Amino acid sequence: MSDPCTFVIFGATGNLAQNKLLPALYHLEQAGRLPDGMAVLGVGRRDWDETAWRAQVEADLASRVRGGLDAAVWGRFRERLFFFRGDLGDEAMYPALRQTLDQGPQFPSNIIFYMSISPANFGVVSRQLGVVGLNDERDGWRRVVVEKPFGYDLESAEILNERLHRDWRENQLYRIDHYLGKGTIQNILVFRFANLMLEPLWNRNYIDHVQISHAEARGIEQRASYYDTAGALRDMVQSHLLQMLTLVAMEPPASLDAESLRDEKVKVLRSIRPIPQSAVHAHAFRAQYARGKVQGEKVAGYLEEPGVPAHSTTETYCALKLFIDNWRWRNVPFYLRTGKRMAQDNSMISIRFKHPPQQLFRETPIEQLKPNWILMNIQPNDCLSIELQVKQPGLEMRTQTQRLDAASCGLSQYGIDAYEALLLDVIDGDGSLFLRFDEVNWAWQVVDPILKVWAMERDYIHTYPAGTWGPPETNRLFLRDDQEWRNTLEE
Dump the DSSP string for 451-464: HHHHHH--S--EEE
Residues 144 and 126: beta-carbon distance below 8 Å: yes
Cα separations in angstroms, 339 against 7, 117, 177:
34, 25, 18
> How far apart are the C-alpha atoms of 140 and 148, rounded to whole Å?
26
Measure CA of the first residue to CA of the last residue in the chain; give whole Å. 45
Residues 382 and 413: beta-carbon distance below 8 Å: yes
CA atoms within 13 A on the CB side of 158: 9
> How far apart are the C-alpha atoms of 268 and 243, rounded to whole Å?
10
> How far apart are the C-alpha atoms of 345 and 209, rounded to whole Å?
23
Residues 91 and 60: beta-carbon distance below 8 Å: no
Alpha-helical regions (H) of 166-271:
183-193, 224-232, 242-249, 258-271
> How far apart are the C-alpha atoms of 286 and 280, rounded to whole Å?
11
**Active-site entry in 240, 281, 355, 462:** 240
Residue 174 backbone phi and psi in degrees, to 5: -120, 100
> How far apart are the C-alpha atoms of 82 and 73, rounded to whole Å?
17
Q: Running DSSP on this structure, what letter comes out for residue 435?
A: B
User: Is beta strand 39-44 parallel, antiparallel or unpaired with respect to 6-10?
Assistant: parallel
**CB neighbour list of residue 358: distance below 8 Å, 6 or more residues apart:** none
Residues 178 and 149: beta-carbon distance below 8 Å: no
**CB neighbour list of residue 102: distance below 8 Å, 6 or more residues apart:** none
Known active-site residue 240: yes
The shares of helix, strand and coil residues in the chain, as percent rounded to the nearest 5, are 35, 20, 40
- Buried b / exposed e along 120-150 (16+ C-beta atoms within 10 A): eebbebbbbbbebebbeeeeeebbbbbbbbb
Residues acting as catalytic residues: 240
